[in-house]
Amino acid sequence: GYDASPFVPARGGLKALREAAAGCRGCPLHREATQTVFGAGDSSARLLLVGEQPGDQEDRKGRPFVGPAGGVLDRALEEAGIDPGDTYVTNAVKHFKFTRTGPGKRRIHKAPDLREMRACRPWLAAEVRLVDPEVVVALGATAGKALLGPSFRVTRDRGVALPLPPLDGADGEDAGEGVLVATLHPSAVLRADDEQRAQAYAGLVADLRVVAGLLS
Ligand code: URA
Ligand code: SF4
């Protein structure tokens, strides 16, 4: 099956990980995407945020959350009292998955499936292990499922501190005392109807205030 594990170096830091991830062929998503979009930010951050997968702009630029969703995220973080510069941001899946409406047409985001999420998880597990944050934030359903399993539901599980389960089968000491908080994906704010957008955004900020409280 699909699996990034053979590409993940057994030792080394985030730099070694990032370099290796550039050559990952663990699932078919690397074929159509421009490049691997690895996590970025403060490598010793107390807060690690996990999105779904890179979008169109992230795929071109090679950095997570540099498009419209990243704009919403940074604004919400600041409003919640968190400096975006003090965080590490990454995605559950490291390659952009999309469909085209026709030759040369716009690329439309397509949600990764369970096999792709599972294939890519060793990268996320290694990032969480190396950054070793106090709090992990799952942005939306894909990140929530990647971190907590397929029974995760955003509406039910958001805005509260949950124990972060071990991601790479580690147990005992390595399991850590991590905490996870789930919230909406910032793209859900952008996709919401006019009447619901302000409320969705306020919900995102409220959940991030819970995170800020855990870090203070
Ligand atoms: N959406 C995500 O989930 N991640 C990004 O990096 C950009 C948009
Ligand atoms: Fe590897 Fe993840 Fe890209 Fe698939 S999506 S090729 S597992 S980095």
Of all atoms in ligand 2, which is nearest to the CA of residue 3? 7
H or E stretch including 138?
Answer: strand 135-139
Lookup result for tokens 């934030």: 137
- pLDDT digits over 164-204, tens only? 999 876 554 555 578 999 999 999 999 999 999 999 999 99
- The residue range of the domain holding 200 is 5-215
The CATH number of whichever domain residue 10 belongs to comes to: 3.40.470.10
- Please give the Cα distance from 123 to 143 (Å, whole number): 13
Is the CB of 29 within 6 Å of ligand 2? Answer: yes
How long is the chain?
A: 216
Half-sphere exposure of 214 (CA within 13 A, CB side): 24
- Kind of pairing, strands 162-163 and 179-183? antiparallel
Is the CB of 119 within 6 Å of ligand 2? Answer: yes
Answer whether 47's CB lies under 8 Å from 41's CB.
no
- pLDDT digits over 119-148, tens only? 999 999 999 999 999 999 999 999 999 999
- Does the model's ipTM exceed the 0.90 cut? yes
Could you give the number of structural domains in the chain?
Answer: 1
pTM: 0.96
Could you tell me the distance, in angstroms and rounded to a whole number, from the CA of residue 172 to the centre of ligand 1? 32
> Which ligand number lies closest to the CA of residue 71?
1
